[in-house]
Amino acid sequence: MASAKILVVDDDPAIRNLIQRFLSQKNYQVQSAHNGQTALSIFEQFNPDLVILDVNLPDALGYNLCQEMQNRTDVFVLFLTSRSDAADKRQGFQQGGDDYITKPFDLQELENRVGAIMRRRRVVTATESKRLVFEDLVIDPGRREVTIKEEIVPLTALEFDLLHYLACHPGRVLRRSELIQEVWEYDYVGDQRVVDVHIGQIRRKIEVDISQPSLIQTVRGVGYKFEAPSQPKNGKSDIK
């Protein structure tokens, strides 16, 4: 696999240069920008796999920039910001962020998070690429698409991975810690309730009634389980 391309967007030149040098030494292709306008210009030309994005930029709010970039491609976004409140983190994930690190930060931790995100780019095996069909809901890992009644459901990369993992284990209760380990793919030391934020986002997109979710059910005090409306028909070419 070719080395991943990373765009670093931060108005602090010291942080920007530090990250760029560090990740370049780890064999990533790295470019940087100091504001939103420059970031979008580089984004179009560079087509990064991941954007490391500050929230507070001179000419833009990182949350909005994240949405604009993800409207153009399926790029991963890792927020790196001094905003440490739970509400800020929640907003970052709700706006499409795949991960969230607060400043000051540890370079080794940053590398771990970047590596975990990049592993989601791996080529899926034949077994993993089989479509899961649950009545009107179709999850296609080969195309990384989810459809309901043949209409595409717009999910972020992390939302897709989380839904796919749940759907691959229908009826099984999955703890938050297991979901973080399997989907985020690293030992997350922060609040495991980050899973709840992403589950909430997925529910808003696939559930008929989010106040009474039927597909992704909460197991109080433990985690979540995917309740299939019918057994999955792996590999079906047509939606029945």
Residue 127 has a pLDDT of 56
**117 and 140 housed in the same domain:** no
CA distances from 120 to 49, 86, 150, 213 (A): 11, 26, 25, 27
pLDDT, tens digit (0-9, with 9 covering 90-100), for 155-197: 887 889 899 999 999 999 999 988 988 887 665 555 677 889 8
Structural domains counted in the chain: 2
**140 and 210 housed in the same domain:** yes
Average pLDDT over residues 102-123: 84
Contacts of 45 (CB under 8 A, 6+ apart): none
For residue 237, name the pLDDT band (cuts at 50, 70, 90): very low
Evaluate whether residue 218 is within a structural domain: yes
Average pLDDT over residues 229-235: 54
**Which range, of 10-19, 105-114, 186-195, averages the lowest pLDDT?**
186-195
Coil, helix or strand at residue 121: helix
**Radius of gyration in angstroms for the set of CA atoms belonging to the chain, rounded to a whole number:** 18
**150 and 88 housed in the same domain:** no
**111 and 140 housed in the same domain:** no
Average pLDDT over residues 201-230: 90
**CA 159 to chain CA centroid, nearest Å:** 6
**154 and 188 housed in the same domain:** yes
**142 and 219 housed in the same domain:** yes
**107 and 136 housed in the same domain:** no
Residue 239 has a pLDDT of 37
Coil, helix or strand at residue 128: coil
Evaluate whether residue 36 is within a structural domain: yes
Evaluate whether residue 232 is within a structural domain: no
What CATH number corresponds to the domain at position 90? 3.40.50.2300
pLDDT, tens digit (0-9, with 9 covering 90-100), for 44-76: 999 999 999 999 999 999 999 998 998 888 889
Q: Quote the tokens at residue 54.
A: 């500050």
What CATH number corresponds to the domain at position 175? 1.10.10.10
**136 and 97 housed in the same domain:** no
Evaluate whether residue 237 is within a structural domain: no
pLDDT, tens digit (0-9, with 9 covering 90-100), for 120-157: 765 555 555 688 999 899 999 888 889 999 999 988 87
**99 and 151 housed in the same domain:** no
Distance CA 160, CA 29 (A): 25
Tell which of 121, 155, 181 closes a domain. 121
Q: Which domain holds residue 116?
A: 5-121
